[in-house]
Homo-oligomer: A and B are copies of this chain.
């Protein structure tokens, strides 16, 4: 698939130094090549393309852009494209990761000039998120007339879905709190969560 290399190189050069281009092999699920490496991945590494399942679900084979968060705190905008053989079979996946943080920082910088000393209402973050958990669980219980300890697997799955949707699991130590609120074990909670994210990642 060295066929695609020039394309990758061109894209990488165009967007350097803020974009990384990765070419994945569909067959072996491995990284074929990386241009402008940022994420630390190298050729030969497993692709970890959970997305491959979904790749057939887009009409034009292009996915994203969607947001990623790297370990060191950069925000990436990421797009993928399925590359096909002449016979139409998917053979490779091209991913471009663009680091948004420099742009954002430039934006805040410019904003400093543009805006004339704005007031700062800055609504606070949800402080007592454990209450939130309790309330979401409570609401479900109420609607279904079943006390927490008698919820079925499906019930809990639904509640976990709601909590996930509400972004609860982005909070530190949330799983312990949720598991306890749901009267279940850490193990089971993770199982539910995995099941959930399998169906809608």
Please tell me if the beta carbons of B73 and A179 are within 8 angstroms of each other in the complex.
Answer: yes
Expressed in whole angstroms, the minimum distance between the Cβ of A98 and any Cβ of chain B is: 15
Other than the given A70-B176, A112-B142, A120-B143, 19 more pairs (CB < 8 A) read A73-B173, A73-B175, A73-B176, A105-B148, A109-B141, A111-B142, A112-B138, A112-B141, A112-B145, A112-B147, A115-B142, A117-B143, A118-B139, A122-B166, A124-B165, A124-B167, A125-B167, A127-B167, A170-B171
Which residues of A are in contact with B by a Cβ distance under 8 Å? 69-75, 101, 104-105, 107-109, 111-112, 115, 117-118, 120, 122, 124-127, 129-130, 132, 134-139, 141-143, 145-148, 162, 165-168, 170-173, 175-181, 183
Cβ-closest chain B residue relative to A114: B142
Cβ-closest chain B residue relative to A177: B73
CA A71 – CA B104 in complex, angstroms? Answer: 36
Residues of B within 8 A of A118 (CB): 139, 142-143
Other-chain residue from B71, B126, B173 in contact with A126 (beta carbon distance below 8 A):
B126
Please tell me if the beta carbons of A166 and B117 are within 8 angstroms of each other in the complex.
Answer: no
Q: Which 9 A-B pairs have the closest CB atoms?
A: A73-B176, A125-B167, A108-B138, A73-B180, A73-B177, A125-B166, A112-B142, A112-B141, A120-B139
Residues of B within 8 A of A175 (CB): 73
